[in-house]
Amino acid sequence: QGAEVAKQRILRELLARMDERAVPNAVIELLNGGWRNVLLMAELRHGADSDEAHESWQVLQQLCTWLDPEQAEPPGATEIQTLLQRIDQALTRVCADKFAQDRIVDQLATALFDEDKSQHQHTSVAARLNDAASEPLSEAQDDLAERLRVGDWLQFKSTDAPLNLIWIGDQPPVYVFANYRGIKKLDLKRADLLQSLEDGEAQWTEDLELPLMDRSYSAMIQKMQRDLLWQASHDPATGLANRKSFFRAIRRTWLRSQTVDGGYAVGVIQLDISNPAGEAAGVDIRTPILREFARLLPAHLPPHALLARAGESGLAFWTEAADSAAAQAQADALLQTIADHPQEISGTRYRVQAAAGLMWASDCLSPETYYDNANAACARARESGIPVVQYGGEGDASGVLALAQWAHELTAILANNQLSLNCQPVVAAADAARTPLYYEVLLHPTAHAERGIATRDLIGIAERLQRVAEIDRWVVRHVLQWMRSHVDLVSRLGGFSINLSGQSVTNPLFLKFLLGELARGDIPGGKLIFEISEADAVEGHAQTQLFMRQLQRHGCRFSLDDFGIGTSSYTSLKSMKLDYLKIDHALVRELGTSMIDEALVRSILETGNFLGIKTVAGFVEDAETLMKLGEMGVDCVQGYLIGEPKPLDTLA
């Protein structure tokens, strides 16, 4: 009864305050979308005359003032952004439809940042809801708490069906869940819920508010993509990674490794299998024997080591190794394991002679090269009869800078601007004139060009040193500086896409830097497209969403890069409100030779079409690939056939 009285009083107050003025449509949207509940919560919890209630009302007053076309002094971008964040935070506690919530806040942002206020009337300051005295949270728990929103569906191991988060209380912090019929089933204290999420006792699941057909179609597409992805990255006979995914896994594992000293070993083991008469075994014998060793060897490798298929009768491994002696010991141990397990098939014992080649290095910048060197060493081992041969050519560790040296090198590169920016056009696949829709900005390390250091290697080292955000900041600053120097030209161009690392996206200081640049008001946000890799977006989903929401309110667009090799769900893709899906370049390169890759690309295009997200295919280098992509329905293309990278300054 008290709540109903408060609702009526709030309605009367609204009518009294706004009866004599033209209320912006966006303010009405805000009120109907949840702000009346914010007002109600403030009054019920703190009283009609409380500071919290007054501040909730002040939000509406501030918005109407800022959206008044006659406002003499418009608010600064930082003030607007602060208010939008506060509104978003308050709505999270009362708005059951998170997509509707994002739409409301986005409408407010559009109106507030628009210089011509006569066309808009929206809302943009939120009530300061009482945070309540709460238990301190770890950084991981804080990320989880930020991600939780009314309307989320979670699957608990203790319940048969997913439950819907219908209420988030703040005194005390409590989370209330109901089943799909709206019947309350569970309420948890914040600490207990966050602990369940950390332990895997609870996890996010599909949004059951979505239409059944949407969820079914999404699940079908995702299962098909997972199956195709597995086939594209694994050897079907042994279940091990194939070479392509082996190299990708090496880079990924190395970048996330906490090891500072020592190095890494790439090894190739070839098996010569013969019957008692000395005749080479056929594929029907080699395959089950390889499968058996694929099952046995992982137990004899250190944690985080990798094992893959290498040719018809071989296996490859990667592991941390303090030095070349440690690498040798590891290879010896694997060969001993093979020797200790004689193979017998259908009553016939087969002789398995193993030889190994090794490549030790202090980094993992070029796993393909290291693999080739190890493979060459393995060939020498087989020819000479020596069990293990280590590669000792120019590509060995002696030619590679240690991490400590690279730290100094990277500092000098950034301080002396020993980098340059190139750009490459992205065009509509169906556009015969190839008019650029936008340009992708590409980094080029000029200081090390003569040493053959590729951009990918420089970025890899920076990621390994946890300093890649410094490079991203350098790129953004110089792109914005160029845009400010060519205002007229920029107005005629579609925009520029800039690649960002996961470290930058999850770094609050980097977001603050970007918002500060945009707050100057001289860069149209719609001219900026930020590319984030699928792997980074999935790994830091909550932080990625927060990062994107803040910049999307300035008009910035987003592209998910390297799409097709990760595990993004339908719900997470939809919640990110992406503009582009960029197909992983390895899939495009092998489009004409791999039926699996072609099927995977088709499923990606289905996903993009289903979600209304444009698809981009890079590395288009010949007319045949371009024609194939056009027939398949890709929206945009990029590559040497379309236009080679050229210095950014040549656009002027």
Q: Map residue 647 onto helix, strand or coil.
A: strand
Indicate whether 509 pLDDT > 80. yes
Contact 161, 179 (CB under 8 A): yes
* Mean pLDDT for all residues in the chain: 82
Indicate whether 166 pLDDT > 50. yes
> What is the per-residue pLDDT for 421?
95
Q: Which of 434-443, 481-490, 548-557, 562-571 has the lowest mean pLDDT?
A: 562-571
CATH class belonging to 418-651: alpha beta
**Neighbouring-strand partners of residue 298:** none
**Neighbouring-strand partners of residue 563:** 583
Long-range contacts of 595-598 (CB under 8 A, 24+ apart): 596/228, 596/231, 596/232, 597/232
Q: Which of 8-12, 358-362, 592-596 has the lowest mean pLDDT?
A: 8-12
Indicate whether 127 pLDDT > 50. no
Q: Which of 151-155, 449-453, 511-515 has the lowest mean pLDDT?
A: 449-453
* 131 compared with 416, residue with greater pLDDT: 416
What is the phi-psi region of residue 203: left when phi exceeds 0, alpha when psi lies from -120 to 50, beta otherwise? beta
d(CA 411, CA 399): 20
> What is the per-residue pLDDT for 536?
84
> What is the per-residue pLDDT for 616?
97
d(CA 592, CA 594): 6
Closest CA to 373 of 361, 363, 387, 355: 361
pLDDT classification of 511: cutoffs 50, 70, 90: very high
pLDDT classification of 558: cutoffs 50, 70, 90: very high
Indicate whether 143 pLDDT > 60. yes
> What is the per-residue pLDDT for 221?
61
> What is the per-residue pLDDT for 297?
95
Distances (CA, A) of 27 to 56, 126, 222: 13, 12, 39
Long-range contacts of 337-344 (CB under 8 A, 24+ apart): 337/296, 337/297, 337/300, 338/269, 338/271, 338/293, 338/297, 341/292, 341/293, 341/296, 343/273, 343/289, 343/292
Residue type for position 102? D
**Neighbouring-strand partners of residue 184:** 178
Q: What is the mean pLDDT of residues 143-158?
A: 80
> What is the per-residue pLDDT for 404?
61
Place of tokens 């993009």: 608
Q: Is the peptide bond before 276 cis (omega within 30 degrees of 0)?
A: no
* 296 compared with 36, residue with greater pLDDT: 296
> What is the per-residue pLDDT for 117?
60
Place of tokens 């790129």: 475
Q: What is the mean pLDDT of residues 540-544?
A: 79
Side-chain half-sphere CA neighbours of 363 within 13 A:
21
Closest CA to 61 of 29, 103, 14, 93: 14
Contact 169, 176 (CB under 8 A): yes
Q: Which of 98-107, 194-203, 269-278 has the lowest mean pLDDT?
A: 98-107
d(CA 316, CA 330): 13
Residues 525-558 as b or e (16 or more Cβ within 10 Å = b)? bebbbbbbbbbbbbebbebbbbbbbbbbbbbbbb
> What is the per-residue pLDDT for 453?
61
> What is the per-residue pLDDT for 400?
45
pLDDT classification of 124: cutoffs 50, 70, 90: very low
The tens digit of pLDDT for each residue in 432-481 reads 899 999 999 999 877 555 555 677 778 887 887 778 899 999 999 999 99
Beta strands 420-428; 436-444: pairing state: antiparallel
CATH of 139-204 given 2.40.128, 2.30.30, 2.20.25, 2.40.30: 2.30.30
Per cent of the chain over pLDDT 90 is 32
Indicate whether 178 pLDDT > 60. yes
Indicate whether 227 pLDDT > 90. no
Q: Of all helices (H) and strands (E), which one includes residue 335? A: helix 324-339
The tens digit of pLDDT for each residue in 361-420 reads 888 878 888 998 898 889 888 888 888 888 864 334 433 455 667 777 777 888 888 889
> What is the per-residue pLDDT for 131?
35
Q: What are the sequence ranges of the domains in the chain? A: 2-119, 139-204, 243-399, 418-651
> What is the per-residue pLDDT for 31?
82
The rounded Cα 240 to chain-centroid distance in angstroms is 25
Closest CA to 379 of 391, 368, 361: 391
Beta strands 263-274; 202-204: pairing state: unpaired
* 490 compared with 148, residue with greater pLDDT: 490
Q: What is the mean pLDDT of residues 514-538?
A: 90
* 240 compared with 48, residue with greater pLDDT: 240
- Which pair of tokens denotes residue 518? 């945009």
* 94 compared with 191, residue with greater pLDDT: 191
Q: Of all helices (H) and strands (E), which one includes residue 197? A: helix 190-199
State residue 156 phi and psi, 5-degree precision. -100, 140
Q: What is the mean pLDDT of residues 12-39?
A: 74
Closest CA to 88 of 513, 511, 548: 548
pLDDT classification of 132: cutoffs 50, 70, 90: very low
CATH of 243-399 given 2.60.120.10, 3.10.20.30, 2.40.33.20, 3.30.70.270: 3.30.70.270
Looking at 211-339, which runs of residues are DSSP E strands? 263-274, 306-309, 314-321
> What is the per-residue pLDDT for 491?
94
